[in-house]
């Protein structure tokens, strides 16, 4: 499953992500990984989730990000949830078609390996491609 939390800066996307991570840590039967751009979530994320600052890894493309996620899974087959905060910053690209292809890859990779993805995207919901719209989600109690 792939869920995308999309909205402009300041819309509460990261708050939603933090809430979902912390809620899932207590009931997860596997490993939860949170990818972030810069060490900003250190005190917000429950220590039961593995928090990874992607900046030192110089990801800078969707292809490298796919390889990074694949490597995380190869190193830990118990991985069952991946949360990505600020996809455009991590990937180095705000191209909506590239984003759509990446989300499709996440869906296929997740189905084969039993991994759920929750991803924040900083952009107007109206700018989402048709292929991206099927992944859009909203959590009750949070602005999107």
pLDDT (tens digit per residue) in 49-68: 999 999 999 999 999 999 99
Computed over its alpha carbons, how large is the radius of gyration of the chain? 14
pLDDT digits (tens, 9 = 90+) for 117-126: 999 999 999 9
Q: What is the CATH number of the domain that holds 78?
A: 3.40.50.300
- Provide the number of structural domains found in the chain: 1
| Distance from C-alpha of 139 to C-alpha of 95, rounded to nearest angstrom | 25
pLDDT for 22 beyond 70: yes
Q: Are strands 50-53 and 116-122 parallel, antiparallel or unpaired?
A: unpaired
The whole-model pTM stands at 0.92
49 in any annotated domain: yes
Average pLDDT estimate for 38-52: 92
Is 84 a domain residue? yes
Residue 33, in any domain of the structure: yes
Domain containing 18 equals 2-133
Label residue 29 by pLDDT band (50, 70, 90).
Answer: confident
């Amino acid at each position: 499953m792939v869920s995308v939390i999309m909205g402009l800066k300041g819309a509460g996307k990261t708050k939603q992500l933090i809430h979902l991570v912390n809620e899932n840590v207590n009931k997860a039967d596997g490993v939860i990984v949170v990818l972030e751009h810069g060490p900003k979530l250190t005190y917000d994320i429950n220590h039961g989730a593995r928090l990874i600052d992607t900046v030192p890894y110089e990801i800078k493309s969707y292809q490298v990000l796919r390889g990074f996620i694949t490597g995380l899974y190869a190193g830990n087959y118990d991985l069952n949830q991946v949360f990505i905060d600020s996809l455009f910053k991590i990937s180095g690209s705000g191209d909506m078609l590239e984003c759509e292809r990446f989300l499709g890859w996440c869906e296929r990779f997740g189905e084969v390996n039993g991994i759920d993805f929750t991803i924040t995207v900083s952009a107007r919901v109206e700018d989402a491609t048709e292929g991206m719209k099927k992944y859009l989600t909203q959590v009750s109690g949070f602005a999107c």
